Protein backbone atom coordinates (compact mmCIF):
# COMPACT_ATOMS: atom_id res chain seq x y z
CA UNK A 1 0.00 0.00 0.00
CA UNK A 2 2.91 2.36 0.78
CA UNK A 3 4.33 1.85 -2.69
CA UNK A 4 0.94 2.43 -4.32
CA UNK A 5 0.51 5.69 -2.39
CA UNK A 6 4.04 6.81 -3.31
CA UNK A 7 3.43 5.97 -6.98
CA UNK A 8 0.14 7.89 -6.95
CA UNK A 9 1.80 10.86 -5.28
CA UNK A 10 4.63 10.86 -7.82
CA UNK A 11 2.22 10.50 -10.75
CA UNK A 12 0.06 13.31 -9.39
CA UNK A 13 3.10 15.57 -8.97
CA UNK A 14 4.34 14.88 -12.50
CA UNK A 15 0.91 15.17 -14.11
CA UNK A 16 0.04 18.31 -12.18
CA UNK A 17 2.88 20.22 -13.79
CA UNK A 18 1.16 20.16 -17.16
CA UNK A 19 -0.70 23.23 -18.33
CA UNK A 20 -4.27 22.59 -19.39
CA UNK A 21 -4.60 23.85 -23.00
CA UNK A 22 -8.37 24.22 -22.53
CA UNK A 23 -7.82 26.62 -19.62
CA UNK A 24 -5.14 29.14 -20.63
CA UNK A 25 -3.47 30.62 -17.62
CA UNK A 26 -4.34 27.59 -15.47
CA UNK A 27 -1.20 26.55 -13.67
CA UNK A 28 -1.05 23.16 -12.08
CA UNK A 29 1.55 22.05 -9.60
CA UNK A 30 3.69 23.79 -7.02
CA UNK A 31 3.91 27.57 -7.13
CA UNK A 32 7.23 29.16 -8.02
CA UNK A 33 8.33 30.72 -4.75
CA UNK A 34 11.83 31.56 -5.95
CA UNK A 35 10.78 34.96 -7.33
CA UNK A 36 11.58 36.84 -4.10
CA UNK A 37 13.38 40.00 -5.20
CA UNK A 38 14.33 41.32 -1.77
CA UNK A 39 13.84 39.98 1.72
CA UNK A 40 11.52 42.12 3.82
CA UNK A 41 12.86 43.51 7.05
CA UNK A 42 10.72 43.01 10.15
CA UNK A 43 8.84 46.07 11.42
CA UNK A 44 6.49 46.71 14.31
CA UNK A 45 2.96 46.36 12.99
CA UNK A 46 0.06 48.38 14.40
CA UNK A 47 -2.44 46.61 16.65
CA UNK A 48 -5.13 46.99 13.95
CA UNK A 49 -5.42 48.25 10.39
CA UNK A 50 -8.55 49.00 8.39
CA UNK A 51 -8.21 49.85 4.70
CA UNK A 52 -11.78 51.10 4.91
CA UNK A 53 -10.68 53.92 7.20
CA UNK A 54 -7.13 55.19 6.82
CA UNK A 55 -7.23 58.65 8.36
CA UNK A 56 -10.83 58.99 7.15
CA UNK A 57 -10.24 57.62 3.62
CA UNK A 58 -11.78 54.38 2.32
CA UNK A 59 -9.33 52.51 0.08
CA UNK A 60 -11.67 49.57 -0.62
CA UNK A 61 -13.78 49.09 -3.72
CA UNK A 62 -17.38 47.84 -3.68
CA UNK A 63 -18.44 44.53 -2.16
CA UNK A 64 -19.96 42.13 -4.68
CA UNK A 65 -22.08 38.96 -4.60
CA UNK A 66 -21.09 36.10 -6.91
CA UNK A 67 -24.51 34.46 -6.59
CA UNK A 68 -26.57 37.25 -8.18
CA UNK A 69 -28.23 36.87 -10.71
CA UNK A 70 -27.75 33.10 -10.22
CA UNK A 71 -25.38 30.70 -8.50
CA UNK A 72 -21.84 30.68 -9.89
CA UNK A 73 -18.83 29.24 -8.06
CA UNK A 74 -16.62 32.19 -8.91
CA UNK A 75 -15.29 33.20 -5.49
CA UNK A 76 -11.77 32.72 -6.86
CA UNK A 77 -12.42 35.32 -9.61
CA UNK A 78 -14.17 37.74 -7.27
CA UNK A 79 -11.44 37.58 -4.63
CA UNK A 80 -8.65 38.13 -7.14
CA UNK A 81 -10.36 40.95 -9.05
CA UNK A 82 -11.37 42.65 -5.79
CA UNK A 83 -7.78 42.45 -4.55
CA UNK A 84 -6.50 43.94 -7.83
CA UNK A 85 -9.17 46.66 -7.78
CA UNK A 86 -8.32 47.57 -4.19
CA UNK A 87 -4.60 47.74 -5.02
CA UNK A 88 -5.40 50.10 -7.91
CA UNK A 89 -7.46 52.28 -5.58
CA UNK A 90 -4.62 52.37 -3.04
CA UNK A 91 -2.09 53.25 -5.76
CA UNK A 92 -4.41 56.03 -7.00
CA UNK A 93 -4.81 57.36 -3.44
CA UNK A 94 -8.56 56.64 -3.51
CA UNK A 95 -9.17 58.92 -6.51
CA UNK A 96 -12.64 58.75 -8.03
CA UNK A 97 -13.94 56.88 -10.01
CA UNK A 98 -13.18 53.44 -8.61
CA UNK A 99 -11.80 50.94 -11.09
CA UNK A 100 -13.40 47.52 -10.59
CA UNK A 101 -11.72 44.76 -12.57
CA UNK A 102 -14.32 42.50 -14.15
CA UNK A 103 -14.69 39.03 -12.60
CA UNK A 104 -16.73 38.03 -15.67
CA UNK A 105 -13.58 38.27 -17.76
CA UNK A 106 -11.85 35.85 -15.43
CA UNK A 107 -14.61 33.22 -15.38
CA UNK A 108 -14.74 33.46 -19.18
CA UNK A 109 -10.98 33.34 -19.77
CA UNK A 110 -9.28 31.61 -16.80
CA UNK A 111 -9.76 28.20 -15.13
CA UNK A 112 -13.12 26.39 -14.99
CA UNK A 113 -15.63 29.22 -15.01
CA UNK A 114 -18.45 28.75 -12.51
CA UNK A 115 -17.09 25.36 -11.50
CA UNK A 116 -14.12 26.84 -9.68
CA UNK A 117 -10.64 28.13 -10.10
CA UNK A 118 -7.66 29.59 -8.33
CA UNK A 119 -7.10 33.26 -7.53
CA UNK A 120 -3.38 32.76 -8.18
CA UNK A 121 -4.18 31.88 -11.79
CA UNK A 122 -5.99 35.21 -12.19
CA UNK A 123 -2.86 37.05 -11.05
CA UNK A 124 -0.70 34.97 -13.39
CA UNK A 125 -3.10 35.59 -16.29
CA UNK A 126 -3.18 39.32 -15.51
CA UNK A 127 0.63 39.43 -15.58
CA UNK A 128 0.80 37.75 -19.00
CA UNK A 129 -2.46 38.91 -20.61
CA UNK A 130 -2.86 42.24 -18.79
CA UNK A 131 -3.90 44.10 -21.91
CA UNK A 132 -7.22 42.25 -21.63
CA UNK A 133 -8.03 43.31 -18.06
CA UNK A 134 -11.17 45.35 -18.24
CA UNK A 135 -13.40 47.31 -15.94
CA UNK A 136 -16.71 45.82 -14.87
CA UNK A 137 -18.53 48.57 -16.79
CA UNK A 138 -17.15 47.03 -19.98
CA UNK A 139 -17.73 43.37 -19.12
CA UNK A 140 -20.67 43.06 -16.74
CA UNK A 141 -21.11 40.03 -14.51
CA UNK A 142 -23.46 37.45 -16.04
CA UNK A 143 -22.80 34.52 -13.66
CA UNK A 144 -21.88 32.36 -16.67
CA UNK A 145 -18.38 31.08 -17.25
CA UNK A 146 -16.46 29.25 -19.93
CA UNK A 147 -18.13 26.06 -18.64
CA UNK A 148 -21.53 27.56 -19.59
CA UNK A 149 -20.63 28.93 -23.01
CA UNK A 150 -19.36 32.38 -22.00
CA UNK A 151 -16.05 31.90 -23.77
CA UNK A 152 -13.05 34.21 -23.78
CA UNK A 153 -14.23 36.15 -26.82
CA UNK A 154 -13.85 39.79 -27.81
CA UNK A 155 -17.49 40.33 -26.85
CA UNK A 156 -16.90 39.04 -23.32
CA UNK A 157 -13.70 41.05 -22.99
CA UNK A 158 -15.39 44.38 -23.62
CA UNK A 159 -18.75 45.42 -24.95
CA UNK A 160 -21.13 48.33 -24.89
CA UNK A 161 -24.86 47.80 -24.63
CA UNK A 162 -27.76 50.18 -25.07
CA UNK A 163 -31.31 49.41 -23.89
CA UNK A 164 -33.31 47.72 -26.63
CA UNK A 165 -30.28 47.44 -28.94
CA UNK A 166 -27.65 44.83 -29.63
CA UNK A 167 -24.36 44.94 -27.78
CA UNK A 168 -21.18 45.78 -29.66
CA UNK A 169 -17.44 45.69 -29.09
CA UNK A 170 -16.05 49.24 -29.07
CA UNK A 171 -13.23 50.18 -31.46
Summary mean pLDDT of the chain: 77
Give mean pLDDT, residues 124-142: 82
User: Model confidence over 26-85: pLDDT tens digits?
Assistant: 555 555 556 777 888 889 988 888 999 999 999 999 888 888 888 898 999 999 999 999
Task: Identify the CA nearest to 70 among candidates 136, 135, 145.
Answer: 145
Distances (CA, A) of 125 to 2, 13, 49, 75: 38, 22, 30, 16
Other CB atoms within a 10 A radius of the CB of residue 170 amount to: 7
Domains with residue ranges and CATH for the chain: 66-171 (3.90.70.10)
Report pLDDT digits (tens) over 144-165: 888 888 888 777 777 666 777 7
**Rounded Cα–Cα distance for residues 53 and 38 (Å):** 29
pLDDT of residue 40: 84
pLDDT recorded at residue 150: 82
Cα gap 117→107, rounded to integer Å: 8
Q: Return the pLDDT at 68.
A: 85
Long-range CB contacts for residues 138-143, cutoff 8 Å, separation at least 24: 138/102, 138/170, 139/102, 139/104, 139/105, 139/108, 140/102, 140/104, 141/64, 141/102, 141/103, 141/104, 142/69, 142/104, 143/66, 143/67, 143/68, 143/69, 143/70, 143/71, 143/72, 143/74, 143/114
Amino acid sequence: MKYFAAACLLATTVMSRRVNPDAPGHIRGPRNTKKVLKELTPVDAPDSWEWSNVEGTNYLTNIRNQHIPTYCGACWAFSATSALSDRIKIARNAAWPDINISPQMMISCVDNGCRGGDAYNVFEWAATEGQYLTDETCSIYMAKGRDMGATCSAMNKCRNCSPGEACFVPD
